[in-house]
Amino acid sequence: MRELTPLCLLAKKHMTDKGGRHNLYDGNYTSICHEYTPVYWDMFNEIRHSVTRVLEIGVLGGCSLRMWKEFFPNAQIVGVDIEKRAVIGYRIWVFQGNQASRPELEAAAAHWAPYDLIIDDGSHEPSHQQNTIVSLLPYLKDGGFYVCEDIHCDVQDLINVIPRGYVYKVPITDPGINCANEKLLVIQHG
């Protein structure tokens, strides 16, 4: 198992299930800690100061939004959730939107577009993940990253909806990810 990265420590501090080897999520006990943060550290550490806009689908209590805010010190952080959520704080905005609805996703994303990073941590339903890819890739900056978390379906179903001009890596697995059936799909524009 890898050593905890600084991003893992931020995940633990903000109680997000993205990593940090802890069992608290939004202040509640959970049996899940995905350990995605070592992968994210490897991908984003070198560019963290140049990232200016991050969009995450699936907010719950805002734990990962606070983690991203601290990790990307120059970024506006935007969250979209099916539930009405409060604004979390300085540099963080949350919009209500249904991941199954392309117009709702696009309306929420348009506020701060384009994005350096878009993360889908929403419902984890394959049809919603497909809809989100199709809806939000146009809001990604050239060179930006789109990450779909917690893929439980045949990843080829997601790849099939990616338009030309995007590069993808599948599946990204890491020895630290503690659930063998969970994968990350990473798409890069340009």
Sorted by sequence, the CB contacts under 8 Å of residue 51 that are 6+ apart come out as: 44, 72, 74, 75, 116, 117
**Sequence spans of domains, the chain:** 46-189
Fold of domain 46-189: Rossmann fold (3.40.50)
Residues belonging to the active site = 124
pLDDT tens per residue, range 8-30 = 999 999 988 888 656 656 666 55
pLDDT tens per residue, range 81-94 = 999 877 678 999 99
Specify the amino acid at residue 169. K
CA distances from 6 to 37, 38, 53, 162 (A): 9, 9, 20, 32
Considering Cα of 60, then 88, then 137, then 179, what sign does the dihedral take?
A: negative
Nearest to 189 by CA among 165, 172, 171: 165
- Share of residues in the chain with pLDDT > 70 (%): 84
pLDDT tens per residue, range 126-150 = 999 999 999 999 999 999 999 999 8
Per-residue tokens: 125: 């339903």
Specify the amino acid at residue 115. Y
Residue 68 has pLDDT above 60, yes or no: yes
The pLDDT, as a whole number, for residue 56 is 98
For every residue of 14-39, DSSP letters joined together read TT-TTSSS--EETTEE-S-----HHH
- Does the pTM surpass 0.85? The reply is yes
Nearest to 43 by CA among 71, 12, 14: 71
Identify the bridge partners of residue 168 per DSSP, sorted by sequence position. Answer: 187
> What is the C-alpha to C-alpha distance for residues 141 and 112, in angstroms, rounded to an integer?
11
